[in-house]
Structures are given as structure tokens and as C-alpha cells.
């Protein structure tokens, strides 16, 4: 990943509203959630929400799929994986190359994946 691209992803996540949106989508897992649900949970005006969703979509961190009147948004995990790999590889110290003991549990627990392979070290 190029520095420019990484900076774009970081900037996209570097806004409280967008980071909250993204975390919500990660929590929701592959099932995702509808735009209206996001707006409801975060108390955001529809236009503002759309603005941020468009931004996150543009850089490839999320994806929206129309379903009748609704749009289901999901996190693009591979993009995030790449970003974390970039940070780990270019911006972190040796001791942190492996995630902390506590790093893996939170997200892993609430996930319901088809592929149930959790490579996380059991702390």
C-alpha cells in the first residue's frame, strides 16, 4: 500500500463520526446494517450521514448494497486488514507487531462468520 492511499484511509477514519460509523459496521459483521439504523444510533442528520458514508465508500472502507428501499452497509474488512498491515509493517515497533493479549477478543466474540477460523492467540 502506498503512503498516499494509506493517508486517505487514515484520514477517512480520522473523524469521530466516521470512525463511529465504521466501528458500528465492524460490530455488525458481514450482515451489515441499514443506513437508517446507523443514523438512528448515532443521532446524525440524514444528509450528514450520507456525506460520511460516501466518504468511507469512496476510499473503500465500506460498501453499500441496495435492498429495496434500504441500503445495507457493510465494512470492507480486507481494506482494513491492509491498512493494519501497512501500519504494523511501516509504523510500529517490534514488540507491537503481534497484537496485545486483549486485542483479539472484543471483535471476535461478537462476530458470526461463515469461516469460523479465529487465528487469535488465546490470551
Partner DNA sequence: TCCATACTTCGAATATTATCGAATTGTTCG
Partner DNA sequence: CGAACAATTCGATAATATTCGAAGTATGGA
> Closer to its own copies at the Cβ: 20 or 70?
20
Alpha carbon distance 21, 9 (integer Å) = 14
Instruction: Find which of DNA, its own copies, none residue 68 binds, CB within 5 to 8 Å per kind.
Output: DNA
Stretch that binds DNA, among 44-52, 85-93, 104-112, 114-122 (CB under 7 A): 44-52
45 counts as binding DNA under rule CB under 7 A: yes
Stretch that binds its own copies, among 3-11, 39-47, 49-57, 64-72 (CB under 8 A): 3-11
Strands (E), 25-87: 33-34, 62-67, 70-75
Cα first-last separation, the chain? 30
Instruction: Find which of its own copies, DNA, none residue 110 binds, CB within 5 to 8 Å per kind.
Output: none
111 counts as binding DNA under rule CB under 7 A: no
Alpha carbon distance 33, 25 (integer Å) = 7
Alpha carbon distance 7, 25 (integer Å) = 21
Amino acid at each position: 500500500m502506498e503512503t498516499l492511499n494509506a493517508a486517505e484511509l487514515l484520514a477517512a477514519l480520522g473523524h469521530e463520526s466516521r470512525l463511529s460509523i465504521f466501528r458500528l459496521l465492524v460490530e455488525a459483521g458481514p450482515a451489515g446494517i441499514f443506513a437508517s439504523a446507523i443514523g438512528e444510533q448515532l443521532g446524525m442528520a440524514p444528509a450528514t450521514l450520507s456525506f460520511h458514508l460516501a466518504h468511507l465508500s469512496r476510499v473503500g472502507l465500506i460498501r453499500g448494497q441496495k435492498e429495496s428501499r434500504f441500503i445495507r452497509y457493510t465494512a470492507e474488512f480486507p481494506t482494513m486488514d491492509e491498512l493494519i498491515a501497512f501500519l504494523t509493517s511501516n509504523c510500529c515497533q517490534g514488540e507491537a507487531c503481534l497484537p496485545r493479549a486483549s486485542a483479539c477478543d472484543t471483535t471476535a466474540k461478537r462476530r458470526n462468520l461463515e469461516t469460523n477460523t479465529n487465528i487469535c492467540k488465546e490470551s
